[in-house]
Amino acid sequence: MKLKDALQIEKTIPNATPKFRFIDLFAGIGGMRIPFDELGGECVFSSEWDEFAKDTYELNFGHRPEGDITKIAARDIKDHDVLLGGFPCQAFSNAGLKRGFFDTRGTMFFEIQRILAEWRPKMFLLENVKQLRGHDKGRTLETILSILNGDAPPIPDDIPMSLEARKSLQKKLNYDVDFKVLSATEFGVPQRRERVYIVGFDRDHYGNVDASVVFANLEQREAVTRLSDALEPEGSNEVAKYTISDRLWEGLIRRMARHESKGNGFGHKVFGSNDGYCNTITSRYYKDGREILIDQSHMGLNPRRLTPRECARIQGFPDWFDLSACSDTQLYRQFGNSVSVPVIRSIATSMLKLSNRLEAGNNKVAVG
């Protein structure tokens, strides 16, 4: 699906008789839930700790997420068919210290695990940074997958987690699980953003199931990406205030030269509207925008930052998504921490198709 088509998808009107129920953990501003809403699902629980992200979420979806998931008992979450979780990635990312499970942010996976153990939803979709695949020579991801499929070895006592999460490890899960690293550019999104996606299907519900079919049958792919599809018109009033100052531009040039002389990897990057895609937007974008600057030299101007709306578009958020709840600074953080909606849309569609096929074969009630 071309980006322009994805941006024009209309907001879903809630169905009085939803096809399935899902929960949205580490919800951010709701990027993962948009496609599941579109497919007829009902979100029965969401959780997010950041108050500003909650503001944006509430404005767009009509209800405010609950707070810190570590303080919410699993039994207090409603029954659901699908669990969504873009669990915190800093513990595994290049930008962080890569401490994994020994970082409290890395242990948020065990909050997902305890909810799966309590409710045993039919399916789940998890998202994290690409670096999760190689963290601790692959052992971290191997441990996550083994917990999900029920083959996990004992988890060391020095891995910090809540008491409920520790107790729930005694309840063996039985999901068929697969993962894949996907780039947003494969789905028409003009941003070089690679993430690990993990899907799972409950064997106790579906019987014999092969989760890898989800990734084998992804649709809505688009080989051509164009940054111009996400940008406001040149010289428009919407972009004028985002031109960076002479002082900031000169500072970025000096810092680039200083780091290059030391052989370090540092840099701002200037993109033109004819480029196919830009760098990955991160939560630090609000600081100086150096990862993605838009060229304006042909107009005699310094480069400019992306506008918040352009950030939304390079993440594939439809244009109905309302940005008025927060400041630009908060919006930059929110979109830097969010997901590429078209990627989630393709995975969600494939998950529900596989579920329906399995349900029909088992003569059970279809999901979706």
What is the rounded distance in angstroms from the CA atom of residue 191 to the CA atom of residue 188?
9
Nearest partner of 82 among 18, 28, 132, judged by Cα = 18
Residue type, 229: D
Compute the distance between CA of residue 116 and CA of residue 160 in angstroms, rounded to an integer: 19
Identify the active-site residue in 89, 278, 311, 326.
Answer: 89
Q: Is the dihedral of CA 206, 210, 212, 213 positive or negative?
A: negative
Is 89 tagged catalytic? yes
Helix ranges, 62-152 (H): 109-119, 139-149
By CB atoms closer than 10 A (0-12, 13-18, 19+), residue 137 is exposed
Handedness of CA 203, 204, 205, 206 (dihedral sign): positive
Return the residue matching tokens 């068919």: 81
Report yes or no: 74 and 114 within 8 Å, Cβ to Cβ. Answer: yes
Catalytic residue numbers, as ranges = 89
